[in-house]
Structure 1
Amino acid sequence: MAERVLQGQPDIILMLRRSARARRITLRISSLDGRVTLTLPTHVAEREALAFARQKEPWIRKHLAARVEDVRVGYGVVLPVEGRDRTVIAGSGRAVRLGEEALAVPGQPDAVGRRLQGFLKARARDVLAAACDDYAARLGRSYSGLSLRDTRSRWGSCSSAGRLMFSWRLILAPPEVLRYVAAHEVAHLAQMNHSPAFWAEVTRLYGPYDAERRWLRTEGNALHRFRFGD
């Protein structure tokens, strides 16, 4: 990809990307790092794509201004864990300790983010596995495995082989949101689609889910602002 500049206050860096699959010029702003990608079909001239970007400049600036800034995790940072804000503080001993109001992380300050990420991933696995075991038992189906990733585009998935995948950052969401996502993916063990029958299965397993889906749409992206040194 090539870089181009949309001059202004401040300048906007455009990542110019040509695609044989593209049928029209498109703009995308990453919710994670604010990168602006301008994609154009191979037959479209660059000047035409840049003219399109200038036309969309107010829209680009509006979305960049609304983007939540990244937070580098370290001592003093307030981090939501299972839906509750906890302050990251210096700890003693060898293990990270989760309290009602604080996360106590031992070790050197420059290793806090990495240690805390490892702790959160382990906790996410435990909590998600317990929820999935519960829902799978109710469904009368079993899953073949469970993995965690730091996915940007989805909170979970279920493969045709019955393997479940989740974003470990769900541990930063309220518990009911995590459990809804677990129920959603487990329901795919019975319905590998998003048909009315699938949503009926989700409702049977979890109950009403509109509030949890809405939370993910409106608040979910903010969970990606926390940077752990990875």
Structure 2
Amino acid sequence: MSTGQQNPRQLPTEINICSQETIQVIWKHSLRAKRLSLRIAPHEQKLVVTIPQGCSPTQALTFANKNHAWIKDRLQQLIKAPSFSDNNTILIRGKPYLIVHAPQQSGGAWLENNRLMVSGDLTFINRRVTDFLRTHAATVLKKEVQHMAQITGLHPSRVDIRDTTSRWGSCSTSGRIMLSWRVIMAPDWVRHYLIAHELSHLRHMNHGPLFWQQVISITPYRKQAETWLRQKGSLLLHAR
């Protein structure tokens, strides 16, 4: 839960991350956060600093300034992130597909061999690719969650597919599981791990030893999936 306070007067609206580069900053006070944290808002390309209760503005600013290397690295990843535009390649279920503009055809967007065909005006491509991926994700991910729930006996109260760029998924205390539609770009075995992770929270709402025992009892892919997500996950979260 956030108090809604952003950019307090005693904190700057931007910081220098090198001699010739600055980044705008959103300072967010949170009653739920347990520690200072950073993330890049990909569409605005702003730095978001989450400040826990009891942390002073000076501590928050020092924390941000100590992480210039991390900030610059994340900004570089944004530049490399897949673009939903004509003649670019994106991943769908871990496989590469070339985006091909088909202006004379109709039907929005559809898969054809190793291509993602997109009809209509060139200016519609980004939106139509995004809409296709979100719809495809809702169909595939909900089926995968349902299948794993039947095998494990871990049944969520609800499954929501959302547009998130800072996390792959979450599980609420009410049993509702949320997955980012961007998960659909990851390989099958990565999705298997991510779904197992969230379903395991239905039994253990923490990341303690019992939780991880539950995860590995469901999926054999934890280590390789976490490695893949560290190496490539940020690019998918920032794809646009």
TM exceeding 0.5: yes
Distance 1:7 1:143 in 2: 43
Q: Figure out how many residues of one structure are paired with residues of the other and give that number.
A: 220
CA contact (8 A) 2:49 2:64 kept: no
Alignment match, 2:238: 225
Structure exhibiting the larger radius of gyration computed from Cα positions: 1
Structure 1 stretches lacking a partner, 5+ long: none
* Aligned pairs (5 A) from 1:115-154: 115-154=128-167
Which residue of 1 is the match for residue 183 of structure 2? Answer: 170
User: Which deviations, in whole Å up to 9, do the C-alpha atoms of 1:96-142 show, x marking residues without a partner?
Assistant: 22134210011111111111111111111121112111111112232
Q: Indicate conservation of the 8 Å contact 2:30/2:50, yes or no.
A: no
1:73 aligns with 2:74: no
Distance in 1 of aligned mates of 2:64 and 2:195: 42
Q: Any residues of structure 2 matched to 1:95-110 within 5 Å, and which?
A: 95-110=108-123
Deviates more, 1:66-75 or 1:28-37: 28-37
Within a 5 Å distance, the mapping from 1:38-117 to structure 2 comes to 52=62, 56=66, 59=69, 62-63=72-73, 66-69=76-79, 70-91=81-102, 92-117=105-130
Deviation at 1:38, TM superposition (A): 6.8
Distance in 2, matches of 1:162 and 1:20, equals 23
Runs (4+) of structure 1 exceeding 6 A deviation are: 38-43
Residue 15 (structure 1) shift = 2.6
Looking at structure 1, the residues matched to 149 and 83 of structure 2 have their Cα atoms a distance apart, in angstroms, of 37
% of aligned pairs identical?
A: 27
Greater relative contact order, per chain length (Cα 8 Å cut-off, separation 6+): 1
User: What is the Cα-based RMSD across aligned positions, in Å?
Assistant: 3.3
Matched residue, 1:197: 210
Distance change >3 Å, CA 117–CA 140, structure 1 → 2: same
SS in 1 for 2:167: coil
| Structure 1 length-normalised TM | 0.78
Q: In the alignment, residue 160 of structure 1 is paired with which amino acid?
A: T
